[in-house]
Amino acid sequence: MHRQPLLQLLNAYEPCDDNEASLKRKMLNFVTAHRDCFERTCREGHITASAWIINFTGDRFLITLHKKRKLWLPLGGHPEACDLYDIHRTALREAREESGLKSLAFVSKNIFDICIVSDPLHPPYDFNFLLQVRDPNDTIKISDESIDLRWFSELPEQVKDIENLKRLYRKWKRWTEDKAKN
């Protein structure tokens, strides 16, 4: 029962290409097959939630230079006891904790992107949401999980070969273009 909201979100998700359609099938199979998918103790993998955070005007995005992985990544992490089966609360909590931003809000509660992180021993099945800063005076603060935390308008050179970041960037650019038309 606790997996139903996640399965509904995932079933409603519209992949942007064949690669993402394949990811969606794998994620649906994983969540359906593993009652303990939200638990870090699940041997086959675990659910994580992340956020593509955009600034107040929507023209820049925030990513972190992750301390453990040494890569520029969206902010996010694992469900905790306070939000174990609520992927939205997990994404928002992690984004606030790792950015210091207090005014973050969902642009949409729909999934923005999906990714299975390459870790052959215990892969995270990541659900990414689009969040936006609602207070123009809100400022970022680097957490102990980050080496650096910055706003960008273009992908940094170091991550231009990371497929899921390229896909997130393209989706955000499409979102900004669609918003400008309306």
Domain assignments of the chain as residue spans, ordered by start: 4-181
Residue 65: which H helix or E strand, with range? Answer: strand 61-66
Per-residue pLDDT at 176 exceeds 90? yes
Q: At residue 120, what are phi and psi to the nearest 5 degrees?
A: -60, -25
pTM of the model: 0.94
Is the separation of the CB atoms in 65 and 72 below 8 Å? yes
Domain 4-181, classified CATH 3.90.79.10, yes or no: yes
pLDDT tens by residue, 45-75: 999 999 999 999 999 999 999 888 788 999 9
